[in-house]
Chains A and B, each alone.
Chain A
Amino acid sequence: MTGAGNSALLSIRHLRKEYRPGQPVLKDISLDIDARGLTAIIGPSGTGKSTLIRCINRLVDPTAGEMLFEGRDLAKLAGAELRAARRRIGMVFQEYNLVERLSVIENVLTGRLGYVPAWRAFLRKFPAADVARAFDLIDAVGLDESFATRRADKLSGGQRQRVGIARALMQAPALILADEPTSSLDPKTSVEIMELMAKMGAERGVPIIVNIHNVELARRYASRIIGMTGGEVVYDGPPEGLADAHLKHIYGGEEFL
C-alpha cells in the first residue's frame, strides 16, 4: 500500500475530476488529512471545494487519482465495500438533507442504515443500544428530548443542522465531511454550529473537513486551512499563517478585504 508509510487518516494523491472531458474542476490535488483536528477548505464558489469533499465519499466519482482511507483506495471501491467505507465517513450538508417527513430521532437513526439489517430499519426496530445513543446525541448537539419525536420539517435551520450533525455522529465515523454547513444559517447560528462541530470533533476524536465561505469562522475554529482556487490548492497551513496576500490570491482582487 502506498499509504502504509505515513500516519495520515486520509491520503489524497493526484486527485483529478472532470465533469466535461478536458475541463478539470480539480487539478491534481494531493493532501494528507490527520486523524485529528478541524480542516477548513476556503475558496471562491465554483472552485471545486464541494467536488473535492464529494469525491472523498464518492457521491462524485473522481476521474483519476487515489484516496487512501483506512488502508483502502476509496476511488476503487464499489458495492458493499464502498458502503462499508461510507459508513465510516459522516457527512453534514448545506441544506441539511434531512428526510423532512420523518421524526428527529428517526433521522438520527438513519445514520445507522449502513450497519443495521434492512428488516430492522424497515420495521423501525433499531437495536436498543442505537436508540439510546441517538437520544444521547440529540442531547449532545443541544436539542432536548422533546425534539426527538418532532418531525424534521417543524424545525428551524439551526435545529435541523444540529440533527444533521447528530446523524453524522451516529455513524460512529472516523471522519466527518461538512459541505458548507453554515451557509444557509444566520451569523449567530453559524457560530453556534461551527462551535458545536469543533467541540464534537475534539471530544470524540473525529477529524472534520469543512468547506466554508466565511474566512473568519474558518480562522476561528480550524487548526488547518486549505485555500483553493481554480481547482488547485494554493494555501495549506495553520490559520495564523493565512495573510491578506494569500486571500487575495485565493479569491482574486482585494476589494472584499
Chain B
Amino acid sequence: MNAAAREWTRFTPGERIARAMLYIVTAIAVVWSIRTIDIIPEFLYDAPEQTADLFRRMWPFDWAFYPKAVHSALIETFHIATLGTILAIVLALPLSFLAARNFTSNPILNLIAQFIFVSSRSVNSLIWALLFVAIFGPGALSGVLSIAFRSIGFVGKLFGEALEEAQQGPIEALTAAGAPRSMLLVKGYWPQVEPAFWSVALLRWDINIRESAVLGLVGAGGIGVALDAALNNLYWDQVGLILAVIFCVVVVTEIVTSTIRSRII
C-alpha cells in the first residue's frame, strides 16, 4: 500500500481515456473535413500563376479613380463607422449597467440585457446590413444602423464585465457615506471603469472602420460600394487601389487608437 502511494502518474486512467478519445476525434475530424471540402487539384496547381496574374492586373493602380470615387466613399466609411459606434455606445451603456450583476441585483433584468447582447452579437454586421438595406433601402443609414446593432452586444458585454470587476471597497465607502445610487455610479463605478470604457469604445471603432469597408458589398454605403462596382467591372487596377486604401486606413486607425489608449490609461 505504501509503495503504491508513492507512485505518481500525471493523469488518472479516466483522464487518459478522455485524452485518447480527444486525439481520435481530432484525427477523424481532420480526415473528414479534407474529404468534404472537394479540393479541385487543377485549381490548386495554377494558384501561384493566378495570384501573380491578379497582382499584375492591379498594378499600376488607377490613381485617377481616387479623387473621382474613392475619396468620398472613404469619408462616408469613416462616418458610418463613427456614427455607428457612437449610437452603439449610447444604446449599450444603460444596458451594460442592467447586465452587471453587482450593480443590478435583479436576475430578470440581467437576463434581458444579456439576451439583447447575445442577439446583437450573434448576427454578423453584413447580415444586419442586408436586413436594414431591405428596410431603409441602400445607403449610409443602413450602414450606420447595422454597425450600431452589431456593436451593442460587443460594447455592452465587455463594458458590463468591466463593471462587474470594479472593486467593491470604494463603492462600500460611498454607500457608507449615504450616497444615492446615481452617485455610486458617477463617483464609484465610473472612475474605476473609465479606462475600460475608452478601450472598449476605441477597439470597437477600430473594428467598425474595417467592417464598414465591406458593408458596401451589400449596398449599405461606404468604400465597399466602390469596391463592389470595381470587382463587378473587373477593373483590377481600381480594386487594387481600393484595397491599398483600406489597408492604409486600417493601419492609421490602429496607430490612432493605440496612441489614444496609452494616453488615457
Partner-B contacts on A (CB < 8 A): 57, 59, 80, 82-91, 93, 95-102, 106, 110-111, 113-115, 118, 121-122, 164, 167-168, 171, 177
Of listed B173, B182, B183, B187, residue having the most chain A CB within 10 A: B173
Q: Check A118–B183 contact: CB distance below 8 A.
A: yes
Complex interface: chain A residues within 8 A of B194 (CB):
101
State which size class the interface on B falls in. Answer: 20 to 34
Q: Check B192–A86 contact: CB distance below 8 A.
A: no
Determine the distance from Cα of A191 to Cα of B169 in the docked complex, in whole angstroms. 24
Q: Is there a chain A Cβ closer than 8 Å to B94's Cβ?
A: no
Residue of A with least CB distance to B193: A101
Having A80-B180, A99-B192, A177-B176, one finds 14 other A-B pairs with CB under 8 Å, namely A59-B176, A83-B178, A83-B180, A87-B178, A91-B177, A100-B170, A110-B174, A110-B179, A113-B180, A114-B178, A118-B180, A118-B186, A122-B186, A168-B177
Q: Check B170–A113 contact: CB distance below 8 A.
A: no
Complex interface: chain B residues within 8 A of A99 (CB):
170, 174, 187-188, 191-192
Determine the distance from Cα of A82 to Cα of B176 in the docked complex, in whole angstroms. 10
Complex interface: chain A residues within 8 A of B178 (CB):
82-88, 113-115, 171
Complex interface: chain A residues within 8 A of B179 (CB):
83, 110, 113-114
Q: Check B192–A101 contact: CB distance below 8 A.
A: yes
Of listed B169, B170, B175, B178, residue having the most chain A CB within 10 A: B178
Complex interface: chain A residues within 8 A of B173 (CB):
91, 93, 97-98, 110, 164, 167
Determine the distance from Cα of A95 to Cα of B169 in the docked complex, in whole angstroms. 8
Complex interface: chain B residues within 8 A of A101 (CB):
191-192, 194-195
* Closest CB in chain A relative to B217 CB, distance in Å: 43
Determine the distance from Cα of A98 to Cα of B187 in the docked complex, in whole angstroms. 11
Q: 0/1 per residue, B23-59, Cβ < 8 Å to A?
A: 0000000000000000000000000000000000000
* Closest CB in chain B relative to A193 CB, distance in Å: 16
Determine the distance from Cα of A100 to Cα of B190 in the docked complex, in whole angstroms. 11
* Closest CB in chain B relative to A201 CB, distance in Å: 17
Q: Check A93–B169 contact: CB distance below 8 A.
A: yes
Determine the distance from Cα of A228 to Cα of B173 in the docked complex, in whole angstroms. 25
* Closest CB in chain B relative to A173 CB, distance in Å: 9
Q: Check A98–B176 contact: CB distance below 8 A.
A: no
Determine the distance from Cα of A102 to Cα of B194 in the docked complex, in whole angstroms. 11
Q: List residues of B (146-177) whose CB comes within 8 Å of A's CBs.
A: 169-170, 172-177
Determine the distance from Cα of A106 to Cα of B180 in the docked complex, in whole angstroms. 17
Q: Check A113–B176 contact: CB distance below 8 A.
A: no
Complex interface: chain B residues within 8 A of A80 (CB):
180
Q: CB within 8 A of B177: which of A87, A96, A98, A106? A: A87
Determine the distance from Cα of A167 to Cα of B174 in the docked complex, in whole angstroms. 10
* Closest CB in chain B relative to A27 CB, distance in Å: 25
Complex interface: chain B residues within 8 A of A121 (CB):
183, 186-187
Complex interface: chain B residues within 8 A of A164 (CB):
173
Given contacts A118-B186, A121-B183, A122-B186, contact A59 B174 (CB under 8 A): no
* Closest CB in chain A relative to B215 CB, distance in Å: 37
Q: Check B192–A113 contact: CB distance below 8 A.
A: no
